[in-house]
Amino acid sequence: MMRTCLVALGFAMCLAPGCRRATPSADAPVDAAPAGDASPLRDASARVDAEVSDVTAPARPPWALVRAAEQACADCHPAEVESWRASPMGRSMGPMAPGPIGRAPGEVTHPETGERFTVRPTPTGLRFEEVGGHAAVATHAVGSGSHTRSFLRRGDGRAELMPLTWYRRTGGWGLSPGYAAPDHPGFHRAMNLECLTCHNDPAATAPGDPERFVEPFAEGIGCARCHGDGRAHVEARMAGGDAPMVMPDRLDAGLGADVCGQCHLQGAVRLLRAGRDWDHVVPGRPLGEVVAVFARAQPGSGIGIASHAERLRRSRCATSDPEAGRCTTCHTPHPTGPRPDRSAACRGCHAPQGAAHCAGPAEDDCAGCHMARVDTADIPHVAMTDHFIRVRPRAPDRPATDRGPLVWINRPAGVADAEARVLLGRAWAESARTRVSTDDRDRAIALLEPALAERPADAAGWADLSSMKLLAGDVAAARQAMETAVTRAPHPPARWWASLTRLRMQTGAIAEARAALARARALRPGHAPDALLAAQLAAGRPAEMQAEMQAFEAARPGQADGVMLRGALARAALDPVAAEQAFAEAVRREPGDPAGWLNLCRIRADLHRWDAADEACARAAALARGAAAVARVAGARARVALARGQGRTAAELAAAAMQAAGADAAYVLGRLALDAGRPDDALKLLDRAVQAEPTLADAWAALAEVLRARGESDLAERAATQARRLGAR
């Protein structure tokens, strides 16, 4: 019984595993686009390609050999190589080096949590520190400095982003992108292969762990990322011959745009197709063979920092003239002469004497009027040019965000409709996680369930279905889908095994959970959150639990998760005072985590501190997202309402919470049934409550009353003794 209790209490920490880092927002309504400004993406979803077998995935280029060969490029193309290395894209990542950008010391206080982060130069590099917490010295710089420069530390095969970024616009330090939320990742935000391939040449990763690199990083984006594998060309030239190279400006306009789209076609969701990885993209082949990019059909005014290609696709210029959609029409990645006039292409169609003429002076820069420069929605302190070309780009009535259905905007010919339906369901799942939207969750489930029946081998589809079922509060279905995912995937990633560990724990399969965790830890040894899972699974084995807790807290000093588990263990050990202290410390460290506030509410309810419990519950209710999380909070609030004599409110909350929050809700409904003179109903509900949570003292006390009313005095005394032992008041 005690072991079950420990596992259940440990999981009170995790309202929606895998979704704690999402950015909470209300479900966004889907409105029509402003009149007269419809997006050409709107009708794209009506296109249905022939039902054929999947396009064969391109082979991964041998990047180490390709990089070695391109060292010879400068022998014949010195001006192009030098100008590329001097360009923002050419210097988008590299090892720490002397320079003025980002070298000044600084201090930033987190506006939500009050944490203080500092940065100062040292002889070995920049040292970042959380005052009273973690510290690290950066090994690499990310970003050219044209807009930002972030920093990371590489060690033990991983690359972790530092919490502060230097912003050119402000001329100083600020929180790194993604750190504004209270539940930010601190010093443990990993750079994965997707991040790396937009800032650098790819490096090989460990099978099943895209965040563990097994070879050194390159020092920037090389020639092959745009011109393809140049080994044959170099060998031929050295032998006095020639061999073709990929020249983006000579490709078909769509394929040429796809070269830039590797990094500049962001959309709302980007997904890898089955059997592909981020370093499989080959210049000269359609990007959609590897990466499926989804955008919303109706455009808003907001842009992302890498939304250039997707926004340009919305422009009438690009839809009416393919050449206008070619990036090199206006941009020269490595100019060797005077910078070209970027308005020349515009004047070719909109000359004063033409039918579609522009009323502005002929010498004006067209982009200044028709391509607004606006702040980016995903990166603070950065403004970029919106590539959605319009007559009046600054319409005041435009919604801030894109709306409408998701559309696969780079779907290549020859894709089976079954695969497209799975990918669309996965896109809605990703949208549900990032927007924390129940509407998007339900769309994802409605698409994925029938699509996976047609395409059962799609492991990533099953994994996404699992996460959506969990958000819906159906833990059993979530586990079943994740079990299918790991059996279908040739190399299930560590995060899938960790998710399966949690799901098996939640369904009481402790031995199977340990086996899944062993698989996760084998793929990412030393990963701190896995140590926390191991500590939860070590319930009843104090020495093992303590060792795992020490491993976690050594890697994550100042983090709330370890304190949260210590509170759960204290509660299970019948020490509510110590438990309350631990949960209070957890919410101090991470005030944006609803699980911390929920645990604090419940332990204060155990102590019958109803006002303080109500305050903590209100904080949890304001932060909770997802059906399961909302239901757990409702169960705790029902218990508080009952104690305050608010019977109707308690009944409504408990009824809504029964499926996902059995103990609190069953106790409340059982207590109400007892007060209403329905002992049989009360007995069933209270028995369910103590089975779900054997340490719920109030439920044992109520159960004793029911048993006395039924004349079962022996059982009543046993229940009363248990209530007294647990500290019922």
Q: What is the pLDDT of residues 640-658, one digit of tens each?
A: 888 888 888 888 888 777 6
Q: Which of 561, 564, 536 is nearest to 548 (CA)?
A: 536
pLDDT on residue 18? 31
What is the reported pTM? 0.75
Compute the distance between CA of residue 548 and CA of residue 539 in angstroms, rounded to an integer.
11
pLDDT on residue 569? 74
| pLDDT block averages, 10 residues each, the chain of length 729 | 31 31 36 37 35 54 87 91 88 78 83 87 87 85 90 86 93 91 78 88 84 85 91 92 91 91 91 90 92 89 84 84 82 78 79 64 78 85 87 70 88 91 96 86 96 95 96 91 95 93 90 94 83 80 78 71 78 82 86 86 89 90 76 84 85 73 76 83 82 80 88 86 73
pLDDT on residue 218? 83
pLDDT on residue 630? 79
What tokens appear for 370 in the block?
């028709």
> Which burial class, exposed, middle or buried, applies to 241 when counting CB atoms under 10 A from its CB (0-12, 13-18, 19+)?
exposed
Q: Which of 148, 146, 16, 149 is nearest to 87 (CA)?
A: 146
Give how far the C-alpha of residue 290 lies from the chain's centroid of Cα atoms, to the nearest Å.
Answer: 20
Calculate the CA dihedral of residues 222, 226, 229, 231 and round it to 10 degrees: -60
pLDDT on residue 706? 87
Q: What is the pLDDT of residues 664-718, one digit of tens each?
A: 878 888 888 888 888 888 888 888 788 777 778 888 888 888 888 888 888 888 8
What are the two backbone dihedrals, phi and then psi, of residue 316, each rounded to the nearest 5 degrees?
A: -60, -30
**Neighbouring residues of 572: CB distance < 8 A, sequence distance ≥ 6:** 2, 5, 6, 9, 539, 695
Residue by residue, DSSP assigns 411-427 as: PPTT--HHHHHHHHHHH
Give how far the C-alpha of residue 303 lies from the chain's centroid of Cα atoms, to the nearest Å.
Answer: 18
Compute the distance between CA of residue 230 and CA of residue 236 in angstroms, rounded to an integer.
10
Q: What is the pLDDT of residues 377-424, one digit of tens each?
A: 888 888 888 888 888 776 666 677 778 899 999 999 889 999 999 999
Question: What is the β-pairing status of strands 135-137 and 125-130?
Answer: antiparallel
pLDDT on residue 1? 31
pLDDT on residue 47? 34
pLDDT on residue 528? 76
Task: Report CA torsion sign: 488, 491, 497, 499.
Answer: negative
Side chain identity, residue 12: A
Burial 170-197 (b: 16+ CB within 10 A, else e): eeebbbbbbbebbbbbbbbbbbbbebbb
Q: What is the pLDDT of residues 346-380, one digit of tens each?
A: 877 777 655 566 766 766 788 888 888 888 888 88
Residue 62: left if φ>0, alpha if ψ -120 to 50, beta else—which one?
beta
Rg (CA), the chain: 29
Q: What pairs with residue 127 in β-bridges?
A: 120, 137
Give CA angle at 335 (332, 339), nearest 5°.
80
Residue by residue, DSSP assigns 604-659 as: HHHTT-HHHHHHHHHHHHHH--SHHHHHHHHHHHHHHHHHTT-HHHHHHHHHHHTT
Check if the beta carbon of residue 561 is closer than 8 Å to that of residue 599. no
How many Cβ atoms sit within 10 Å of the Cβ of residue 278? 21
pLDDT on residue 665? 79
**Neighbouring residues of 695: CB distance < 8 A, sequence distance ≥ 6:** 5, 9, 571, 572, 574, 726
How many Cβ atoms sit within 10 Å of the Cβ of residue 557? 15
**Neighbouring residues of 263: CB distance < 8 A, sequence distance ≥ 6:** 197, 198, 306
